[in-house]
Amino acid sequence: MPQDEAHFPPQDAVATGLRGSCPRCGQGKLFDGLLTVRPRCTACGLDYGFADSGDGPAVFVMLLVGFLVVGFALWFEFTFHPSVIWHFLVTLPFAVITCLVSLRLLKGLLISLQYRHSASEGRIDRD
């Protein structure tokens, strides 16, 4: 647990992550825009320098949303038998919107879990 736990009550990591809230206070916003992480919390001043979700959210989105989009495209094809242009007009926006929404949710979740578990870059112990 982070050392500032005495000053701020523990927040539910999943709830704060999915809401895009500060993992320490639960009040400030985590994102500045769609996917850009703010430099610090506007409510409690927590420095978000630790926040590095890396490629984790993108991997989960590719696996989970890719499955949903392919399933939707197959359902759309076999139910309505549309032309290729209709696939582009219907399936492509579905894929883009689903990916962006999922990416924001998963990025917030992974950053919040990273804070909760004090996860950081691995270091070699030289002792």
| Every domain of the chain and the residues it spans | 3-116
Model confidence pLDDT, tens digit, residues 43-76: 999 999 998 888 989 999 999 999 999 999 999 9
> pLDDT digits over 70-80, tens only?
999 999 999 99
Instruction: Render pLDDT for 83-98 as a digit per residue (tens, 0 to 9).
Output: 999 999 999 999 999 9
Report how far residue 95's alpha carbon sits from residue 55's, in angstroms, rounded to the nearest whole number. 19
| Model confidence, pTM | 0.84
